[in-house]
Amino acid sequence: MDRFIIRGGRRLEGEITIGGAKNAGLKLMVAGLLTGERLILSNVPQIADIATMRDLLRQHGVAVENVDAEGRTLSIGGPIESVEAPYDIVSKMRASILVLGPLLARMHEARVSLPGGCAIGTRPVDMHLKGLETLGAQIRLENGYINASAPGGLVGDRVVLPFASVGATENLLMAATLAKGRTEIVNAAREPEIGDLVECLNRMGARISGSGTGTLVIDGVEALHGAEHAIMADRIECGTYACAAGITGGDLRLIGGRIGDLGAVIRTLEEAGVEVIAEENAIRVRRDGPLQGVDIMTEPYPGFPTDMQAQFMAMLSVAEGASMITETIFENRYMHVPELNRMGARINVHGSSAIIRGVPSLSGAPVMATDLRASFSLILAGLAAQGETVLSRIYHLDRGYEAVDRKLAAVGASIERVRE
């Protein structure tokens, strides 16, 4: 099992290229199930979750091939030979549940294991299943699997989501592209990654309107065709490296970052004393003065993203004054708090809120990653800490961040990956 050794106290300065978005790339790969023709995806991130999705699509019989030597461009398509998504693959990654809608739409049946992923909350799939039932699917839960069928095909209808769930919106959106008639998804999630998926599906021949709003309207078509699409830049990776500039008093140009995708993250950085400047095809993030405490509440987009909560907590642990973070999306997303406190942070959790009282400095310590985003919060703490931090269980990090040690080392960090 690999680990990172980080020696803190260095100001970060330079350029970091932001990769393709994990949360867009995975769904776009799944969209390849909707057509027998080739879907060509470029700007593909080199992360473990993409490799897992490649394995899952191949399990279905779909060809997934590298177009270039680096694997930055993928060709996806072909006949579906199996409608089963087995436990040994699905348990590695929660996004695997998204094959359910496309398999039902194209093959009229699916057998998908109940999903796994980071242990940050229950994240039930009820909304996915109820929405698909509204579109005419028959669903049974049996032996840890979702058994779904739509013998006559899916039929468009009005689906009202009780919560703006990203996963449910994406699953229903893809399923509806091949359903008979019109589907309305009300209270749909509005994340930029959904807009990226809509853009790709429309290039494949889908008829979807309402992107970026709370209501998506899909007029079903008989078949989708191949297309080419570049995956959007990863706004969470961009926000994470912005926090790295903030916590180290650094100055970073984040190449490919888009301010329009970050919304509340930008506003919160500026409130905390971090300067954010839009440049051509880049965002410049720097801090000269002290960090200031701020209050944050995670919310569905365009609110503050839950995927940035841990990184901001690390940064605010060395801010002047007190901060409060309230987590409204996942009920178990403070597992990084004890590890940050081991490094000298002063964080107390009360129910869904965490009170952070800023300290002058952190101290290096051996710490353990608990989930994907928490992994990077501990790297951020290590970058700012005095002494050496040893971060174990970094396989969580590899699921969603590419070449972290190389990117950080290139801008002045002392970070080394050690194989045990």
Predicted confidence band at 122 (pLDDT cuts at 50, 70, 90)? very low
* Residue 411, pLDDT above cutoff 50: yes
| Residue 143, marked binder | no
pLDDT at residue number 239: 98
Q: Would the CATH topology of 2-18+233-419 be identical to that of 22-230? A: yes
Q: Which whole number is the average pLDDT over 336-359?
A: 96
User: Quick one: CATH architecture of 22-230?
Assistant: Alpha-beta prism (3.65)
Average pLDDT on 60-88 reads 95
| Dihedral, 16, 22, 23, 27 alpha carbons, nearest 10 | 140
The mean pLDDT value for 249-261 works out to: 97
In the chain, what are the domain boundaries? 2-18+233-419, 22-230
**pLDDT tens, position by position, 62-73:** 999 999 988 899
Mean pLDDT of all residues in 7-31: 98
Mean pLDDT confidence for 355-370 = 96
Token pair 């994406």 is found at 170
Mean pLDDT of the region 305-313: 96
Answer yes or no: is 22 a known binding residue: yes
pLDDT at 119 over 60: no
Is 180 annotated in a binding site? The answer is no
Segment 180-196 shows an average pLDDT of 98
Per-residue tokens: 97 = 């549940």
Instruction: Kindly tell me if the per-residue pLDDT of 121 is higher than 60.
Output: no
Above 80 in pLDDT, residue 118? no
Q: Determine whether the annotation assigns residue 347 to a binding site.
A: no
Q: What is the mean pLDDT of residues 152-156?
A: 97
**For 189-231, how does the pLDDT look when each residue is reduced to its tens digit (9 = 90+)?**
999 999 999 999 999 999 999 999 999 999 999 999 999 999 9
Residues acting as catalytic residues: 118
pLDDT of 247 strictly over 90: yes
Neighbours of 144 (CB within 10 A): 10
6, 67, 180, 399 from 373: Cα distances, Å = 17, 30, 40, 10
Instruction: Find out whether 23 is annotated in a ligand binding site.
Output: yes
Please state whether the peptide bond connecting residue 302 to the residue before it is cis, i.e. omega within 30 degrees of 0: yes
Q: What is the pLDDT of residue 116?
A: 54
* Band of pLDDT at residue 285, cut at 50, 70 and 90: very high
Range of lowest pLDDT (22-31, 85-94, 241-250): 85-94
Q: What is the spatial order of strands in the sheet that 39-42 belongs to?
A: 63-66, 74-77, 39-42, 227-230
Region 296-317 average pLDDT: 96
**CATH number at 2-18+233-419:** 3.65.10.10
